[in-house]
């Protein structure tokens, strides 16, 4: 399964696996359910308030027809099903896909999904080294899984002693997403120690200190672990 490096808001790259065929099929089926519910709702409302049949058909067909393009454009690479399944459309370099990328993906659905009942899309995703259907290849995108398998050590929440003292009050400037990124970098280092992991620690420390507006002589790993503890202290004491 291919890995795509996605840039976080701190300009730190975190690897995510491409979504497998099964999860993408399930995503498509769930989206069909959302489309069906939408169509039934519009039909019901149209009958209820007496909307002209022609306008009612337009209200039904246009949003349903453009469903994937509309939702992925509005929700930054995710349809409603993708949100539920925690998968997302991204460019191959890990950056945010553009409106044009989403439109190209949508156009190729006619071949990938509609005309072939999804067979072409399934085969292409299965044999592609980067999990791409035809629309993805044309748009330069793929779909990645944002899910992480966490045990307690992999969560951002850590047990800290009752007498713990916060070291950096500027931690209040960080978001939960920031701390999640910090924690992922720490876990990556302990699982894959080496030069690249160490460089990622240094890069993350630089990004976090810059956002917090501080300087520290603590080494990268000690500083980042302290930040996670401080964040938990802040949450525990309702100072968040």
Q: What would the pLDDT profile of 13-22 be if each residue is shown by its tens digit?
A: 567 789 999 9
Cβ neighbors of 160 (< 8 A, separation 6 or more) are 229, 232, 233, 236
Which residue among 115, 145, 175 closes a domain? 145
For residues 91 and 167, membership in a common domain is answered with no
Instruction: Name the band, by pLDDT with cuts 50, 70 and 90, for residue 83.
Output: very high
Residue span of the structural domain in which 8 resides: 3-145
For residues 18 and 121, membership in a common domain is answered with yes
For residues 26 and 126, membership in a common domain is answered with yes
Give the 3-state secondary structure of 77-114.
CCCHHHHHHCEEEEECCCCCCCHHHHHHHHHCHHHHHH
Which residue among 116, 145, 174 closes a domain? 145
Q: What is the DSSP letter of 1?
A: -
pLDDT at site 94 = 78
For residues 21 and 124, membership in a common domain is answered with yes
Instruction: Name the band, by pLDDT with cuts 50, 70 and 90, for residue 206.
Output: very high
DSSP of 140-200: TEEEEE------GGGSS-----TT---S-GGGGGS-HHHHHHHHHHHHHHHHS-SHHHHHH
For residues 22 and 66, membership in a common domain is answered with yes
Which of residues 151 and 59 earns the better pLDDT score?
A: 59
For residues 110 and 36, membership in a common domain is answered with yes
- 89 φ, ψ (degrees, to nearest 5): -85, 125
For residues 40 and 121, membership in a common domain is answered with yes
For residues 45 and 107, membership in a common domain is answered with yes
pLDDT at site 52 = 63
Instruction: Name the band, by pLDDT with cuts 50, 70 and 90, for residue 12.
Output: low
pLDDT at site 172 = 85
For residues 21 and 51, membership in a common domain is answered with yes
Instruction: Name the band, by pLDDT with cuts 50, 70 and 90, for residue 107.
Output: very high
Which residue among 93, 116, 145 closes a domain? 145
Whole-number Å distance between alpha carbons of 16 and 74: 22
Q: What is the pLDDT of residues 15-71, one digit of tens each?
A: 778 999 999 999 999 999 999 998 888 878 777 777 665 666 676 778 888 999 999
pLDDT at site 46 = 75
pLDDT at site 178 = 86
* Mean pLDDT along residues 213-219: 91
pLDDT at site 150 = 39
* Mean pLDDT along residues 159-180: 84
Instruction: Name the band, by pLDDT with cuts 50, 70 and 90, for residue 236.
Output: confident
For residues 17 and 97, membership in a common domain is answered with yes
Mean pLDDT (the chain, rounded): 84
State the total domains in the chain: 2
Q: Is 70 exceeded by the pLDDT of residue 187?
A: yes
For residues 170 and 136, membership in a common domain is answered with no
For residues 77 and 131, membership in a common domain is answered with yes
* Mean pLDDT along residues 90-100: 89
Cα 195 to its chain centre, rounded Å, is: 27
């Amino acid at each position: 399964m291919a890995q795509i490096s996605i840039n976080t808001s701190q300009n730190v790259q975190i690897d995510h696996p491409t979504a497998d065929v099964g999860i993408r099929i399930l995503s498509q089926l769930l989206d069909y359910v959302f489309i069906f519910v939408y169509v039934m709702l519009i039909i019901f409302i149209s009958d209820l308030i007496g909307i002209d049949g022609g306008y009612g058909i337009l209200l039904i067909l246009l949003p349903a027809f453009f469903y994937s393009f509309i939702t992925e454009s509005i929700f930054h690479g995710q349809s409603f099903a993708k949100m539920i399944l925690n998968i997302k459309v991204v460019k191959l370099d890990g950056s945010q896909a553009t409106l044009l990328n989403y439109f190209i993906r949508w156009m190729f659905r006619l071949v990938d999904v509609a005309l072939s009942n999804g067979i072409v899309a399934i085969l292409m995703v299965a044999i592609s080294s980067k999990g791409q259907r035809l629309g993805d290849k044309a748009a330069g995108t793929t779909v990645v899984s944002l899910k992480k398998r966490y045990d307690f050590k992999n969560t951002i929440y850590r047990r800290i002693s009752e007498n713990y003292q916060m070291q950096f009050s500027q931690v209040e400037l960080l978001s939960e997403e920031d701390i999640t990124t910090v924690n992922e970098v720490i876990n990556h280092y302990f699982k894959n120690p080496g030069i690249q992991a160490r460089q990622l620690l240094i890069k993350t420390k630089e990004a976090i200190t810059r956002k917090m507006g501080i300087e520290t002589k603590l080494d990268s790993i000690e500083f980042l672990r302290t930040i996670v503890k401080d964040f938990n202290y802040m949450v525990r004491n309702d100072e968040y």
